[in-house]
């Protein structure tokens, strides 16, 4: 049985207990959220050693890091290293998007090594395999697509991105409306090319029940991909995007009815003032299923800094209801991320998630900031470093800028505001 | 005459023409904004070689970078280098907050070298001078404070931060309400200590007309400091902060009546969902004077990444009405920024400002993103790099991650979404 089916029967599974503990809520509270589809607990029956975490309404905002090889960088070792770095930086989920090297081996090793949930996009591998076999991508058959999906599920992927909402009707909408960047989702663009070539409906939509059966068997959470994700601000919140979202809403319902856990993916590039609207639409159109966003990036013009453009968008998105943030690294739009990029991306997304958790009133969020404020007031440097979201970096920067013995920092030096005012307000101060 | 006085008389000054040109509006449009106090044009009559820029409603969001020495780092050269780096990174304003070395010489050189407006906090130097003279800080006299202010104005400071709103009544409010971090503003904490010691009203409040006379003479824009700026989320939007803001509102009116240009400074550390309220309050309480914010930082727990916490807050603040963002560097809460920190801080704040300019509908903002989107769609790499907010970094990262000859990036490699979809949608694509 899937976690959803168990939850509906009133059963609190060991995975629910573990995940609830991390949130500071009871297993029963989490069970209820899962039962009504407002939360998912991605944990493939074949993923050994997973620390299960739940994603959804009323839970802390989760962060995913994408890693994986490409044909230019096919080695396993750097990706395992990125996994380790991301987990150490506090990530809650990893997606393996490998398209180079021994993809099966890479995925299996990542799942084996990862203590956090692992997601994949099975279609990518099917594309690579077809290409390697010397065939045109559009020659891929339905059976090959579903076999690829089943392989990833059997290997223990906790969730998979499936672009089921890219229908002929949505593509027609796109053709009529036009866009600056058309389709920027890799999976979405391939499915579209396939459909246009064969003049056939999307097999992931047409044979959705086949997909549900596979997901049901391994308790894989479906992450309904947004193939029509806007690739630039000018394309945001347009007809094709929202039409696909409506379709995803109906697929959410069918998955839940079948007992399959499901969440929905969202944009993308979105102007700041359209983000809240996007989140509300996602929740109303998709029956409050957990919403997983890539960014959103609030401007197109900052390659090299898209961890920042997406931290801005992600914080607003999560404050307005998004449950799960996919990190964006400084390398976005330029190439694959280095290990350093991975860490920067995870921390930036965690900052966005935490800023939103403060708004959501998530347990422990406010207390964390309060503890830091008290440590600052007391000029308690070891405590400040320890409470930092990245103690390693904060400690390193503090050390580089100040002699160890100084209690005040070089910013104010002798004219420390805390010291000045504490003397006169009679508030406690561990003086210099 | 000040720019405000000229504007009221219907005169479009050469400075207004220059500043209006940068905004893509007419001199008359800018004159009207200045005349009603919704915009300021900081340009001290003694700042030679200044490229004047205006700050206020309907104008592009401006970014300031704080630089300056401390007792631990008293050298001039690194600060001039930071000035150069900040200007090259596109900053619109520099504040010299020096408290170490030959402060007069440092300020004069920065003003001389800076093509952008320069702000200072005269009180800092008066504090240092008093300390150097072997006297207790609270022994500083009213006359010394005003002499210090006049010196900075005579030297060509385009705007000065003056903590006029820290009154005995505001401090009483603080004592009654209590706070986790009391006062974190250096100027605010000193003024408070001085007032409590002497049991006297704030001279900058009591003798506000004296201040106005100095500002009038040199056309220095007053930047009314928020001495009660919250230093942590728990202290945000509380009685003391808002009481001071009300006081600043009355001082705005008096400045404008006297023909003195004036803007208002704002927080600080503010939870994400309180930012819009803060901006609205600032505008209504302060008669729509330009609002200049430090951050706001949306969480306390990310030292080492406060350029990101403040980019999140700054983007939301500026979208909700803030006109001027003070950058925050990765070094905030840890020490003085390095040259690298300065650049990161400026770019992060410019991203926040631009994300807001897209919302504000500022001329040229939308077009910039649209051009980038078109360059991306066309895989036109030189154009993408050129359009980047930091072409140097984008170019460097692109080069490190990809062979020069490749048109596709390593992210998708052979499975480039743009290429796939362009083939089938019949949209223009400069194929690989």
pLDDT, one tens digit per residue, over A257-288 is 999 999 999 999 999 999 999 999 999 999 99
Query: Does A169 share its domain with A241?
Result: yes
DSSP A205-225: HHTHHHHHHHHHHHTPEEEE-
Using CA atoms, how far apart are residues B86 and B78, in angstroms rounded to an integer? 12
Do residues A228 and A264 lie in contact, with contact meaning Cβ atoms separated by under 8 Å? no
With respect to residue A283, please indicate whether it lies within any of the assigned structural domains. yes
Query: Does B346 share its domain with B376?
Result: no
Query: Does A314 share its domain with A345?
Result: yes
Question: What confidence tens digit (pLDDT) does each residue in A158-187 have?
Answer: 999 999 999 999 999 999 999 999 999 999
| pLDDT over 80 at B409, yes or no | no
Report the SS3 class of residue B121.
coil
With respect to residue B30, please indicate whether it lies within any of the assigned structural domains. no
Task: Judge: A233–B373 Cβ closer than 8 Å, yes or no.
Answer: yes
- Average the pLDDT over B141-159 and give the result: 98
Which of B68-72, B343-347, B425-429 is modeled with the greatest confidence?
Answer: B343-347
Using CA atoms, how far apart are residues A269 and B99, in angstroms rounded to an integer? 43
Question: What confidence tens digit (pLDDT) does each residue in B367-382 have?
Answer: 999 999 999 999 999 9
Q: What is the distance of C-alpha B408 from the center of its chain?
A: 39
Nearest to A351 among B305, B398, B400 (CB): B305
Query: Does B154 share its domain with B213?
Result: yes
Number of domains in chain B: 2
Task: Judge: B348–A100 Cβ closer than 8 Å, yes or no.
Answer: no
Using CA atoms, how far apart are residues A349 and B375, in angstroms rounded to an integer? 27
Q: By percentage, how much of chain B surpasses pLDDT 70? A: 93
With respect to residue A37, please indicate whether it lies within any of the assigned structural domains. no
Q: What integer pLDDT is reported at residue B308 of this predicted model?
A: 98
> Could you tell me the two tokens for B112?
């001389």
Nearest to A319 among B273, B369, B415 (CB): B273
Lowest model confidence (mean pLDDT) among B139-143, B310-314, B406-410: B406-410
CB < 8 Å to A192, chain B: 421, 424-425
Query: Does B329 share its domain with B395?
Result: no
Query: Does A278 share its domain with A402?
Result: no
Query: How big is the CA angle at A290 (ends A241 and A232), to the nearest 5 degrees?
Result: 30
Is there a binding annotation on residue B265? yes
- From the CA of A277, how many Å to the nearest CA of chain B? 14
- The position carrying tokens 């997606």 is A95
Query: Does A102 share its domain with A65?
Result: yes
With respect to residue A281, please indicate whether it lies within any of the assigned structural domains. yes
| pLDDT over 80 at B393, yes or no | yes
| pLDDT over 80 at B62, yes or no | yes
Do residues A118 and A111 lie in contact, with contact meaning Cβ atoms separated by under 8 Å? yes
With respect to residue B215, please indicate whether it lies within any of the assigned structural domains. yes
Q: What integer pLDDT is reported at residue B429 of this predicted model?
A: 47
Task: Judge: B311–A315 Cβ closer than 8 Å, yes or no.
Answer: no
Please, what is the average pLDDT of chain A? Answer: 94
Q: What integer pLDDT is reported at residue A66 of this predicted model?
A: 98
With respect to residue A393, please indicate whether it lies within any of the assigned structural domains. yes
With respect to residue A234, please indicate whether it lies within any of the assigned structural domains. yes
Q: What integer pLDDT is reported at residue B402 of this predicted model?
A: 75
Using CA atoms, how far apart are residues B27 and B242, in angstroms rounded to an integer? 35
Closest CA to A60 of A389, A362, A311: A362
Host domain of residue A384: 379-425
| pLDDT over 70 at A232, yes or no | yes
Closest CA to A237 of A278, A179, A276: A278
Q: Which of B373, B381, B385 should one mutate to test binding to chain A, selecting the residue with the greatest count of A CBs within 10 A?
A: B373
Using CA atoms, how far apart are residues B344 and B354, in angstroms rounded to an integer? 15
| pLDDT over 80 at A24, yes or no | yes
Please, what is the average pLDDT of chain B? Answer: 94
Q: What integer pLDDT is reported at residue B87 of this predicted model?
A: 98
Query: Does A99 share its domain with A145?
Result: yes
Closest CA to A343 of A87, A27, A46: A87
Complex ipTM more than 0.90, yes or no: yes
> Which CATH number do you get for residue A173?
3.20.20.540
Question: What confidence tens digit (pLDDT) does each residue in B243-298 have?
Answer: 999 999 999 999 999 999 999 999 999 999 999 999 999 999 999 999 999 999 99
Task: Judge: B421–A273 Cβ closer than 8 Å, yes or no.
Answer: no
Separate counts of helices (H) and strands (E) for chain A: 19, 10
Long-range Cβ contacts of B378-383 (<8 Å, 24+ apart): B378/B428, B378/B429, B378/B430, B379/B407, B379/B408, B379/B416, B379/B418, B379/B419, B379/B429, B379/B430, B379/B432, B380/B430, B381/B407
Q: What integer pLDDT is reported at residue B423 of this predicted model?
A: 65
- Average the pLDDT over B342-355 and give the result: 98
Q: What integer pLDDT is reported at residue A413 of this predicted model?
A: 64
The number of residues making up chain A comes to 432
Question: What confidence tens digit (pLDDT) does each residue in B103-130 have?
Answer: 999 999 999 999 999 999 999 999 999 9
With respect to residue A369, please indicate whether it lies within any of the assigned structural domains. no
Nearest to B334 among A184, A401, A420 (CB): A401
What is the sign of the dihedral through the CA atoms of B328, B333, B336 and B339? negative
Question: What confidence tens digit (pLDDT) does each residue in B218-255 have?
Answer: 999 999 999 999 999 999 999 999 999 999 999 999 99
Nearest to B180 among A232, A374, A400 (CB): A374
Q: What integer pLDDT is reported at residue B432 of this predicted model?
A: 34
Q: What integer pLDDT is reported at residue B430 of this predicted model?
A: 45
| pLDDT over 90 at A429, yes or no | no
Do residues B127 and B136 lie in contact, with contact meaning Cβ atoms separated by under 8 Å? no
Query: Does A245 share its domain with A332?
Result: yes
Task: Judge: B182–A370 Cβ closer than 8 Å, yes or no.
Answer: no
Q: What integer pLDDT is reported at residue A212 of this predicted model?
A: 98
Task: Judge: B299–A175 Cβ closer than 8 Å, yes or no.
Answer: no
Q: By percentage, how much of chain A surpasses pLDDT 90? A: 91
Query: Does B301 share its domain with B375?
Result: no
Q: What integer pLDDT is reported at residue A288 of this predicted model?
A: 98
Q: Which of A171, A298, A356, A384 should one mutate to test binding to chain B, selecting the residue with the greatest count of B CBs within 10 A?
A: A298
Query: Does A136 share its domain with A164?
Result: yes
């Amino acid at each position: 049985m899937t976690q959803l089916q168990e939850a509906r029967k009133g059963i609190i599974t060991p995975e629910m207990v573990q995940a609830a503990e991390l949130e500071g809520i009871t297993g029963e509270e989490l069970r209820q959220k899962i039962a009504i589809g407002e939360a998912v607990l991605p944990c493939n029956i074949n993923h050994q050693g997973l620390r299960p975490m739940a994603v959804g309404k009323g839970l802390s905002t989760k962060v995913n890091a994408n890693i994986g090889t490409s044909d230019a960088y096919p080695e396993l070792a750097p990706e395992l290293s990125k996994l380790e770095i991301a987990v150490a930086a506090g990530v809650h989920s990893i997606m393996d998007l490998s398209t180079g090297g021994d993809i099966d081996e890479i995925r299996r090793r990542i799942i084996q090594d990862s203590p956090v949930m692992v997601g994949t996009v099975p279609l990518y591998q099917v594309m690579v395999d077809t290409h390697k076999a010397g065939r045109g991508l559009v020659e891929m058959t339905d059976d090959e697509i579903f076999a690829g999906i089943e392989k990833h599920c059997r290997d223990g992927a906790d969730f998979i991105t499936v672009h089921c909402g890219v229908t002929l009707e949505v593509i027609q909408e796109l053709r009529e409306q036009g866009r600056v960047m058309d389709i920027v989702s890799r999976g979405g663009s391939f499915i579209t090319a396939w459909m246009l070539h064969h003049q056939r409906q999307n097999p992931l939509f047409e044979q959705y029940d086949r997909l549900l059966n596979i997901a049901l068997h391994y308790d894989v959470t479906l992450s309904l991909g947004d193939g029509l994700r806007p690739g630039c601000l000018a394309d945001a919140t347009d007809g094709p995007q929202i039409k696909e979202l409506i379709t995803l809403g109906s697929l959410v319902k069918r998955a839940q009815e079948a007992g399959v856990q499901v969440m929905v993916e969202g944009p993308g590039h979105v102007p700041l003032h359209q983000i809240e609207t996007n989140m509300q639409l996602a929740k109303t159109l998709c029956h409050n299923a957990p919403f997983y966003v890539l960014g959103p990036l609030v401007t197109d013009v900052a390659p090299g800094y898209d961890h920042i453009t997406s931290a801005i968008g992600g914080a607003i998105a999560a404050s307005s209801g998004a449950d799960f943030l996919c990190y964006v690294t400084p390398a976005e739009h330029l190439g694959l991320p280095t290990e350093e990029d991975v860490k920067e991306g995870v921390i930036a997304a965690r900052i966005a998630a935490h800023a939103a958790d403060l708004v959501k009133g998530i347990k422990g969020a406010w207390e964390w900031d309060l503890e830091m404020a008290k440590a600052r007031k007391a000029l308690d440097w070891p405590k400040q470093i320890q409470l930092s979201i990245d103690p390693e970096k904060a400690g390193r920067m503090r050390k580089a800028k100040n002699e160890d013995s100084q209690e005040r920092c070089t910013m104010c030096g002798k004219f420390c505001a805390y010291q000045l005012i504490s003397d006169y307000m009679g508030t406690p101060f561990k003086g210099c």
